[in-house]
Structure 1
Amino acid sequence: MRARYFLLLPLALGLAACDQAAPIAQQAASAVVAETLKQAGGQAQDVIDKAKSDVNTTLSSMGVDASAAMDSLKEKARIALKKEAATLTTGDWHTLDQYSGKYPRDIGLYTDLSPISPELKRLLGNRFDTFKEWMGTQGPLQKEKGVLYTTGNKAHAAGDGSAYLLIDTANRKLEVGMMSKGKLVVYASGGEAIYKPKDVETIIQNMANR
């Protein structure tokens, strides 16, 4: 699906920017642009700039100011993405269940588009960036007894600076453990504790024995 959107982007940009296009065609093209930027994630700027260059010649031959049209369209797409982000962050956490086996970095788990973002940032506060750093070398999302989890450690730190994340999608709860020099600090949502998968228990024990 991702490849399809990237292939359609140059055509969609030209169509959406062209005043001669029918309104319904412009709307459809704009939707493709917004979806492509979402798929591109952190590379959205590079993607849109490349597509802008590709369609510049064609639009110019039609008497359309390519730069102005693309800049306007890019801003509209960004606004659409912000609206989608707001929907996702208040959405159903069960959407994450489908990503078992995927790496957090590949699905944007720690970005503003993630449904767990508000709760994760609330729990960690000013340690959020440290957590992401300690997840630099990370394992894929896995699932055990209904709990999604992932573990990681700070790159090139000889095992010091490790972390885990538990996600209870059914109850919209999180638990984060951050371990350094044998000391574990836990940040957890209120209520009953989340089940700890065996892999996480093993990692905690190994760190405590160092």
Structure 2
Amino acid sequence: MTPGDARLAPRAWLAAAAIAALSACQQTPTPPQAAAPAPTATATAQPPAPVVPPAPASANRAPIDWAALQNAVGSYNAQTQFLRQPGINRRLRALLGVQYELVMRDLQVAGPLQQDKGVYYVTGNQAHKGGVEAVAIAMQPASDSVRVWLLHEGREQVLQEQPNAFAWPAEVQTLIQNSAARR
């Protein structure tokens, strides 16, 4: 034993005593853990843990009252406030974030709620700013998803809940194409 080892021995004893004292303070005894097997030269790599698929996208979304939306077809949002329906409102706010108010302004001049091939949609633009500030909101019950096309300051943006979203209705496609042709 070297002189340095002699100085470390009391410290090791104090550390062991402290650990023993702290473990005695535990209120719930923990079961002893089995020692991990020592690695061997012939050990094979463990296969990766299986990937757990995420929950369905609609599991965390506010439910949309599709029957109420069907009843609103042909009406204007200013009359029936169909976009204020709790499920639609929450989902639009979650999807759009800070752009929610901009989208609502872009619906100042809006058409009625329409349905085309199972997709509900509404289009609009800010008063006196058609072709510069416009929006289309589309919702599909089959995929339980919402999709928004936004034209702000002449730049397009598409926001959607699902990456492989449904196709835009024909009228929305025309709006998008006409908007691109004007720029």
Per the normalisation by structure 1, the TM-score is 0.53
Displaced runs of 4+ in structure 1, greater than 4 A? Answer: none
Cα distance in 1 for partners of 2:167, 2:118 equals: 9
Among 77, 92, 96, the alignment partner of 1:104 is 77
Whole-Å separation in 1 of the counterparts to 2:170 and 2:72: 20
CA apart distance, 1:108 = 1.2
Say whether 1:164 aligns with 2:152. Answer: no
Give 2:3's aligned residue.
none
Pick closer, same or farther for the CA change 1:91–1:130 going to 2, 3 Å: closer
Larger % of helix: which? 1
Pair 181,91 (structure 1): closer, same or farther in 2 beyond 3 Å: closer
The residue type paired with residue 123 of structure 2 is T
Corresponding letter in the other structure for 1:102: S
In structure 1, the partner of 2:97 is: 125
In structure 2, how many angstroms separate the alpha carbons of the residues matched to 1:201 and 1:129?
A: 23
Q: Partners of 1:129 and 1:204 in 2: how far apart?
A: 21
TM-superposition CA deviations, 1:145-174 (whole Å, max 9, x none): 100011000002253100000011233210
The verdict on how the C-alpha distance between 1:114 and 1:102 changes in structure 2, with shifts beyond 3 A counting, is: farther
2:146 is the alignment partner of 1:193:
no
Task: Look up the equivalent residue of 1:178 and give its one-letter code.
Answer: L
Gaps spanning 5+ residues in structure 1: where? 1-88
Q: Distance in 2 between matches of 1:157 and 1:127?
A: 17
Tell me which residue corresponds to 1:74. Answer: none
Contact 2:145 2:165 survives alignment (8 Å):
no
RMSD of aligned C-alpha atoms? 1.8
Counterpart CA distance in 2 for 1:106 and 1:98 is 13
2:122 corresponds to 1:154: no
Quick one: structure 1 residues 131 and 108, their matched pair in 2 at CA, closer, same or farther if it must change by over 3 Å? same
**1:142 maps to which residue?**
114
Deviates more, 1:182-191 or 1:130-139: 182-191
Amino acid of the structure 2 residue aligned with 1:116: I
* Aligned residues of 2:133 and 2:154 also touching (Cα < 8 A): no
1:123 and 1:188 in contact (8 A); partners too? yes
Identity of aligned residues (%): 31
Within 1, Cα distance between the matches of 2:66 and 2:175? 26
Does the 8 Å CA contact 2:74/2:113 hold for their aligned counterparts?
yes
User: What is the correspondence of 1:1-210 to structure 2 with a 5 Å cutoff?
Assistant: 90=63, 92-111=65-84, 113-210=85-182
Q: CA deviation at 1:99?
A: 1.2
Change (3 A) 1:173 1:202: same
